[in-house]
Structure 1
Amino acid sequence: MLCTLERFKRHMSIPEDDKSMDDELRLYLMVATQSIEKHCKRTFRKQTYTEQLNGYDDSPYVNLRNYPIHKVISIMSRHGEITDYESVGDGRLFRSNGWPNGKHNLTVTYVGGYVLPGEETDTAPRTLPETLEFACILYAQSLHDRQFIPSGVQTERLGEMSVTYAHQQSEKDMPPTVISLINPYVGRWY
């Protein structure tokens, strides 16, 4: 998850020793994480990935989804392994004479992503940008707060009875603040 349960509880002013809502809060964090990753068209956890990519001989670049890239293990084409490339940052690989032309003709195996909160070790400190963690906190909080609002009701007045209905929210709706925080991490490959 992009945020630990402990940090989310502190943000929500829930005592750490109060375990009564842990499962529910963990669910909000998981939904927020999955929604953010879906919006960004990528995964953030540091791990080994294998991607099938299209190569174009007229383009010296290919883009990998799950940057930052820590290590490219192999790049295979139909004609064998490719070794004459360089990583130029943000998941981009550069090859001066272009890539073999074809659909899904490159298989790249690499280690990429961020060390997530709660997964850090003495030798691998947390590297996830704070903006992504904060976006997860805000989105999880908004999911939590929505449960107390009657579905579709935006405003309500008792004197002379008046109800205003909002558009029906779907689970993919995110607060504008969350979208602005995560937009810099949206993949550029589609």
Structure 2
Amino acid sequence: MLTTVSRAKDMLGIMDDSQDTQIEALIGVGTDAIEAYCRRQFGRRVHTETIERTAGQYLQLRNYPIIEVTNVNRNGGQLKGWSEAIEKGMLIREDWPPDVSVEYEAGYVLPGDATEEVPANLPRSLEYACILFVQYAMREPGVTSVRIGDLSVSYAQDGADMPGPVRSLLAPYRNPLP
């Protein structure tokens, strides 16, 4: 998750533990919504992607920053002769063939995963965006319609109901890939 209950409570000025369960749930919802809006995952993990496009010098990976690329291949054969643009999540090569598969580790150490030896390196603006999302969700739960007979609830989708300040903070981290 992009923040912890403790850090969110500190930022929101909440002193007691009575809302911890709600805050934890909203942090999870906020993290999921932010990752969906940004079209990428922020926590450090291993990914495997097959990029089907052809031609060009740049191969844009969905998740970044890149920590390590362990395998780049096409039809089972290793591809060599590429370099990395770590912060942008790109592999650079003279020309890329179609259907390239890449196995790589990417992402940030999230606040809840940090240790003394490996501190969190998630940009503060991403953590703050999650906390703002939690604050907004505590006030406006995102319900766009309600039906009482046979109970039906609808929620805003596709970032349409993402609070403006949260969207602004996320803009530099939104993946250009669809």
Q: Which TM-score band applies after superposition, normalised by the shorter structure?
A: 0.7 to 0.9
Between the aligned partners of 2:119 and 2:13, the Cα distance in structure 1 is: 26
1:170 to 135, 156, 165: 156
Alignment match, 1:14: 14
2:26–2:134 Cα contact (<8 Å) kept: yes
1:107 aligned residue (95, 98, 101)? 101
Number of aligned residue pairs: give it: 167
Highest Rg: 1 or 2? 1
Gaps of 5+ in 2: 146-153
5 Å-filtered alignment, 1:93-132, equals 93-96=91-94, 98-101=95-98, 105-132=99-126
2:7 partner letter: R
Aligned letter for 2:172?
Answer: P
Kindly report which structure 2 residues correspond to 1:52-71, keeping only aligned pairs within 5 A, or say none: 52-56=50-54, 58-71=55-68
Which runs of no fewer than 5 residues in structure 1 stay unpaired? 153-167
* Bigger helix fraction: 2
RMSD: 2.1
8 A Cα contact 2:144 2:156, kept in partner: no
Is the CA contact 2:2–2:111 (under 8 Å) kept in the aligned structure 1? Answer: yes
The match for 1:156 is: none
Task: Tell me which residue corresponds to 2:38.
Answer: 40
| Residue 78 of structure 1 pairs with residue 72 of structure 2 | no
Alpha-carbon distance in structure 2 between the residues aligned to 1:88 and 1:137:
29
